[in-house]
């Protein structure tokens, strides 16, 4: 496997393992967010978007011959299931008047709107992650008003903790253009035009109605 035709979450994780890097170190090597690497572990069959494919190509081509040989062995022996990783994400539902903050993720060759989110490392505060990652992605400062609960996310399969957040200050902008295509304040009344209602955690809908 001297050339990787198409990268998947599984082969990306094999490269990470060949480089002997943590999620944080591998994300730094590629210039992506830690949650991107975490998503490869939880969705091993999903193909990263073209920009990610190019970043992985560059990392592989710049690796030593030892790392490349190790990768080839790992990629060939990679199991058909996701690497075992206990993943948790904190999701921020940021309200400003009658609008809510959304980011448009680049997902392979498609775009998907969702709430700002970040991976919660062991021992970290999910509330703090929700606020910090919102600012990192969008430039918006917020504060957690209420925890809305947790669930196993129906799409990613990771544990997701949701927080209703209040806008403090900041202009919404796309600060992570490699992963996100856009950032917008969306009218709460039009939220289902961006995210299907059946995919929204029910306590979020209730909280937004009350807001």
Q: Chunked in runs of 10, what are the mean pLDDT values of the chain (211 residues)?
A: 82 92 88 83 84 91 88 73 61 97 82 91 90 95 96 80 97 90 96 93 93 73
The pLDDT of residue 130 is: 96
The pLDDT of residue 191 is: 96
The pLDDT of residue 83 is: 41
d(Cα 99, Cα 53) in Å, to the nearest integer? 34
Half-sphere exposure of 16 (CA within 13 A, CB side): 25
Contact criterion met (CB below 8 Å) for 138 and 185:
no
Contact residues for 31 (Cβ-Cβ < 8 A; gap 6+): 55, 178
Q: What are the start-end ranges of the E strands in the chain?
A: 88-96, 99-107, 110-114, 117-119, 141-152, 159-169, 180-187
- Which of 201, 183, 195 lies closest to 136, judged by CA? 183
The pLDDT of residue 25 is: 86
- Which of 139, 141, 131 lies closest to 173, judged by CA? 139
Instruction: Quick: pLDDT tens for 46-55.
Output: 888 888 899 9
Contact criterion met (CB below 8 Å) for 94 and 116:
yes
108 C-beta neighbours (distance < 10 Å), count: 13
């Amino acid at each position: 496997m001297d050339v990787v035709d198409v990268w998947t979450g599984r082969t990306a994780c094999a490269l990470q393992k060949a480089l002997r890097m943590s999620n944080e170190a591998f994300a730094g090597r590629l210039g992506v967010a830690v949650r991107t690497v975490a998503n490869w572990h939880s969705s091993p069959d999903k193909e990263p978007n073209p920009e990610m494919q190019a970043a992985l190509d560059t990392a592989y081509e710049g690796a030593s011959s030892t790392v490349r040989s190790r990768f080839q062995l790992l990629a060939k022996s990679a199991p058909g299931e996701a690497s075992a990783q206990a993943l948790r994400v904190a999701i921020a539902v940021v309200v400003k008047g009658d609008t809510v903050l959304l980011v448009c993720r680049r997902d392979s060759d498609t775009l998907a709107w969702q709430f700002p989110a970040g991976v919660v490392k062991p021992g970290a505060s999910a509330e703090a992650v929700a606020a910090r990652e919102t600012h990192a992605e969008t430039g918006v400062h917020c504060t957690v008003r209420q925890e809305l609960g947790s669930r196993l996310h129906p799409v990613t399969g990771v544990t997701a903790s949701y927080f209703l957040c209040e806008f403090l200050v900041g202009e919404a902008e796309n600060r992570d253009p490699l992963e996100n295509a856009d950032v917008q304040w969306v009218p709460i009344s039009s939220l289902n035009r961006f995210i299907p209602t059946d995919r929204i955690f029910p306590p979020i809908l209730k909280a937004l109605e009350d807001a």
